[in-house]
Amino acid sequence: MKIRRLFAAGAILVLLWGMTPLVSANPYAVFVVHCEPKNADPASFLQLRDMVVKADQHQVKLTIDFTPQWAEMILEHPVFSDLVTNWHEAGHELGAHHHPYWVSKTRGTNWDGYTNTPQENLLGSDGENYLGDMDDYLALLNELPGTRTSGTLGLGEPPDAIDWPQDLLYSAAGHAFEDIVSRPQKVEYAGHVVWQMKHGLLSNGLPEQVENAYAAAVPGDIVAVVTHVSNYEDFPQAVENYFAFLGSQDPSGNTLVTVTEAMNLAVPEPSTIWLALLVGWMLIGRHRRQRRA
């Protein structure tokens, strides 16, 4: 009996430990890179490679969100594919980035050619630039190493909500400075309930402001910044300085994580909590029965 009770107590401890997976004074730090349709070219790829090398020097894990234009370029060049495979194997996340159709109409961004809006409903001659629906989109991105689990889909206009690819688990959104610190929240895209975190553009704050936001964050918070490859090209030192800052805050690198890792750790798991409670009740019940006997 004693052994069984010890076993049950051990099980509870393991479950509780599972609910607080990272006992650390640091928040989770996430660094996202958006790879835009308009600069899917070899020169920009080399800039991205440079960024990965610098991130590696400071234990920073990047989440590299590719648009379909980047995926096609990478798949066409074996040298690029090999490098991207290395990044994936080194623990950087290869995520998804989308420039939806209706957002491009209202904000003048470059549509990436994929949408779940039927081709015949596109305005003017836009149907000529149609490349496929969002199943085609995700199939193309999944030709890159691994499987896509997170993305910045940019579904800012209501008619774009139907573009959420149902096989993606996690969403990242935002660009404002206030978006740098967040916790996972449930959002809904045309009936798909998705866990979403925020990220803020690194250059929307002065370096001290971003570092202060990190310092003010508590364990369990996600401190996430985003840059575009072109931002890095313009200010490589600002990005490298932030990598160095993160590396100095957590030399172990344990809390320097990807979007999917941060979300796996930070999304509350009700099933685990219920399981722990259930084991607790069983223990109390057994304890009472023993006292009565």
- For Zn ion, the closer of residues 234 and 269 by Cβ is 234
Smallest distance from Zn ion to CB 112, Å: 9
The whole-angstrom separation of Cα 17 and Cα 19 is 5
Closest CA to 137 of 111, 171, 170, 98: 98
Smallest distance from Zn ion to CB 34, Å: 4
Smallest distance from Zn ion to CB 2, Å: 58
Binding mask 159-198 for Zn ion (x = CB under 5 A): ----------------------------------------
Backbone angles phi, psi at 226, to 5 degrees: -130, 145
Smallest distance from Zn ion to CB 177, Å: 14
- For Zn ion, the closer of residues 61 and 98 by Cβ is 98
Binding mask 112-131 for Zn ion (x = CB under 5 A): --------------------
Site residues for Zn ion, window 17-56 (CB under 5 A)? 34, 36
| Structure token digits, residue 88 | 């994936």
| Structure token digits, residue 229 | 């490859």
The whole-angstrom separation of Cα 279 and Cα 70 is 49
- For Zn ion, the closer of residues 101 and 255 by Cβ is 101
- For Zn ion, the closer of residues 36 and 160 by Cβ is 36
Q: Can you list the positions of beta strands (E) in the chain?
A: 28-35, 62-66, 93-97, 150-152, 170-173, 181-182, 185-189, 192-198, 200-201, 222-228, 256-257
- For Zn ion, the closer of residues 95 and 247 by Cβ is 95
- For Zn ion, the closer of residues 39 and 264 by Cβ is 39
**Size of the residue set binding Zn ion (CB under 5 A):** 2
Smallest distance from Zn ion to CB 80, Å: 20
The whole-angstrom separation of Cα 282 and Cα 274 is 12
| Structure token digits, residue 26 | 């640091």
The whole-angstrom separation of Cα 106 and Cα 101 is 9
Backbone angles phi, psi at 104, to 5 degrees: -65, -30
Smallest distance from Zn ion to CB 36, Å: 5
Site residues for Zn ion, window 220-249 (CB under 5 A)? none
Contacts of residue 246, defined as CB under 8 A and 6 or more positions apart, other chains included, come to 29, 31, 58, 59, 60, 214, 256
Smallest distance from Zn ion to CB 260, Å: 18
Query: Any contact of residue 98 with Zn ion (CB under 5 A)?
Result: no
- For Zn ion, the closer of residues 112 and 133 by Cβ is 112
| Structure token digits, residue 110 | 């470059």
CB closest to Zn ion, residue no: 34
Q: Contact positions toward Zn ion, by CB under 5 A?
A: 34, 36
